[in-house]
Structure formats: structure tokens, C-alpha cells
Amino acid sequence: MIEKLERLEEKFKSLTEQLCDPAVIADMDKYKQLSKERSDLDAVVALGVQYRDAVKNIEDADAMLEMEEDSSMREFLKEERHQHKEELKVIEKKILMELLPKDPYADRDIMVEIRQGAGGGEAAIFAGQLMRAYMKFAERKGFKTEILDIHETELNGIKEVIFSIKGRGVYPALKFESGVHRVQRVPDTEASGRVHTSTITVAVLPEAEDVDIEINQADLRIDTYRSSSAGGQHVNKTDSAIRITHIPSGVVVACQDERSQRQNREKAMRILRSRLLEQAIRKQEAEIASSRKSQVGSGDRSEKIRTYNFPQSRVTDHRISANFHNIEAIMEGGLDDIVEALQNAEKEEMLQAAGE
């Protein structure tokens, strides 16, 4: 472990020196690349210092035990040594987690698709509230959001929306949100006070880059039409809305939120690339999946992952059998505890798989 840490510290030192090189500073792409590599090592280098301190404390306790003859003092030193060894185990586990393989899409921005499911107007209202929760979470983290396409209902709900979130660490934070979200509560329109159950679906897509997906223009069918919305907003009198069909995969993308065909086409192509990348990722994961299905999962859209129980102010994530309370704060973007629990569960699975 110490040898591994020393190698990483040497790399960290080398990267630090390179970042001070005027030639590297002048090359923005190179500078960004090296800065990211160095940033990725920050945590493990800090843990390395803690690891060596813990090892030194154990060695000091051993040396003192060899010289100490007083029985009560020996018991004290043994207890102290035990505490240092337990501390070392915790640090070792943290280091191993930092050394786990990184998600290849960890640095990507994302697109989030939310669709109304079962439950009619109540599902549409919840879809809008969950979109707001994600945007509030993004705002608190310093991420940037942009609505790419939205279809609203007459009752201030959302039938379907797709929006982007940009920022360092956004994909690892929200990649586990894909799946079916179930809400249980008494709708405002329910006079008898009966609890209704509704569902919405969420898909989180890493935003594709041009090098990820090569699209042959001959494989695209592009249709234009007049945009419309439930409340009459953003309605154009020209055929500015765009629908793109990727013929080989059957993926269809429509975008109408902008006022020009060019802007809608650009957004639609961004969405199309990300959906095709998602398809490729799912296919690859299916091909290399082990017989033991991941507990956290990669976010199958048909998998029920979470229940929001408003009467009991409780959110339950079914994949990790964890309950989170204060649902009002969660719906205001307080997703941190849920995100951390899911990330830790994934790391625990990866550690177990590595051990096996």
C-alpha cells in the first residue's frame, strides 16, 4: 500500500511541476487535462498522509510496548494500538475506494428526461416538481441548467421535459436517478382525502461528444411542423419545430422550444446523440454484465427505484432499502443524502466484486 501511495504522490508532484511550466500554461487543452489528472489525485494523496501517520502510530505503540513493564500502562498502550489499527482499516478502505476504476463518463454533462407516467394530471404535476428539485439541487452545486424541450399541461404540470445540467461531477451525482419514481399523496383535487399513487419516469443521459457517436446524415429523416403548447406559450406561426428520426435505431427526437428551425435542430441533434450513446452504453453493459445483477443498477427506465410518500414525509430508495425523511427539503433540492448513499452503495459493490 505504501509503495502504491508513493507512486501516486510522485505522479501528483510531477503534475504539479508540469502545471507550472509556461509551455503547458500556454496550451489550454493540455493545462486542463493535467489539472484534471492532478485534481483526481487530491483525495488519495491526502489519505496517504493519514495512512502513514496511522502506521507510524502503530509502530510507536509497538516500540513502547516492548520497553514498558508496568501492567496497567501496557494495557493502556494495547488499547491505543488497537484504536490506531481500527483507524488504519478505515483509511485503507477509503484509499481502495479512491483507487476503484472511474466511470468513463464521470466528467460528462448530462441530459435529464422526465415523463409523466400513470396517474394523469397528478403525475404531470409531480413531474414538474421533480424537475424543480433537480434544478434546485443543480443550483446549490453551482451547476448550470438549460431546458431543451418541454411539453406542459393545462394544470401547471409537465407531460415531458428534457433539460441539460452542466458542471463538474454532475453525472456521478445524478446517474442513479434513472428509473420509475412513484409518488403517494392526497392530490389537491381529491375531496375525500384518499391517497393516490402516481408514477413518472426519469432518464439521465451522459451528454455525447462528436467523437462518441458518428451519425450518417443519410440515416436521418427530418420533419418540420408548427410548435404548440398547452397554455399557448412559445407558439410560432412558422414551422420551426423539428422532429428527427434516426432510421437504423428508430430513435425519434422532437424539439420545439426555440423560435428558429436552426436552434431546434441543434438541440434535437444534441438529444439524439445522447440517446444513441445511452443505447450503446446499455448494450455494452448487457454484454459484459456478470451473473450477479448490480444492486444500484444503471437505471433501467422500467425499474421502480424510489417512492415519495408525502403523508409520512418519507422517501424510500428501493435499490438500497434506505429511507430518507423531511420530504419537503428533498423536493427543494436537498438530495445530498440520497446521492451519497447511492454512491457509497456502488463503491461497496465494486469493492466486493474486486474482492471476489
CATH code for the structural domain at 217-285: 3.30.160.20
Cβ-in-10-Å burial (0-12, 13-18, 19+) of 337 comes to middle
Q: What percent of the chain has pLDDT over 90?
A: 55
What distance in Å separates the CA atoms of residue 9 and residue 2, rounded to the nearest whole number?
A: 10
| Dihedral sign computed on CA atoms, order 320, 296, 352, 37 | negative
User: What count of other Cβ atoms lies within 10 Å of the Cβ of residue 305?
Assistant: 23
What was the pLDDT predicted at 51?
92
pLDDT in tens, 303-316: 799 999 999 999 99
CATH code for the structural domain at 110-200+300-355: 3.30.70.1660
What was the pLDDT predicted at 238?
58
Q: What percent of the chain has pLDDT over 70?
A: 90
What was the pLDDT predicted at 294?
53
What distance in Å separates the CA atoms of residue 222 and residue 239, rounded to the nearest whole number?
A: 12
The domains of the chain are located at: 2-99, 110-200+300-355, 217-285
What was the pLDDT predicted at 182?
95
CB-based contacts of 25, cutoff 8 Å, min separation 6: 19, 31
Structure-derived torsion over alpha carbons of residues 25, 30, 33, 38, reported in degrees to the nearest 10: -40
Q: Residue 311 carries which DSSP code? A: T
Q: What is the 3-state secondary structure (H, E, C) of 213-259?
A: CCCCHHHEEEEEECCCCCCCCCCCCCCCEEEEEECCCCEEEEECCCC
Report which residue type is found at 74. Answer: R
For residue 199, which phi and psi values (nearest 5 degrees)?
-135, 155
Beta-bridge mates of residue 325: 314
Report which residue type is found at 179. Answer: G
What was the pLDDT predicted at 82?
93
The DSSP H or E segment spanning 307 is strand 304-309
Q: Is the pLDDT of residue 174 over 70?
A: yes
**Same fold across 110-200+300-355 and 217-285:** no
What distance in Å separates the CA atoms of residue 27 and residue 1, rounded to the nearest whole number?
A: 35
- What's the grid cell of residue 115? 415523463
Q: What's the rounded mean pLDDT across residues 172-197?
A: 87
What distance in Å separates the CA atoms of residue 325 and residue 314, rounded to the nearest whole number?
A: 5
Cβ-in-10-Å burial (0-12, 13-18, 19+) of 227 comes to buried
State the DSSP string of 59-120.
HHHHHHHHH---HHHHHHHHHHHHHHHHHHHHHHHHHHHHHSPPPTTTT--EEEEEEE-TTH
Q: What is the pTM of this model?
A: 0.75
Cβ-in-10-Å burial (0-12, 13-18, 19+) of 354 comes to exposed
The DSSP H or E segment spanning 148 is strand 144-152
Residue-wise over 90-114: b if at least 16 C-beta within 10 A, else e?
ebeebbbbbeeeeeebeebbbbbbb
What was the pLDDT predicted at 355?
66
pLDDT in tens, 256-282: 877 788 888 888 998 998 989 888 887
For residue 104, which phi and psi values (nearest 5 degrees)?
-65, -15
Spatial CA neighbour of 205 closest among 266, 274, 253: 274
What was the pLDDT predicted at 285?
67
pLDDT in tens, 27-69: 998 998 899 889 889 989 999 999 999 999 999 999 999 888 8
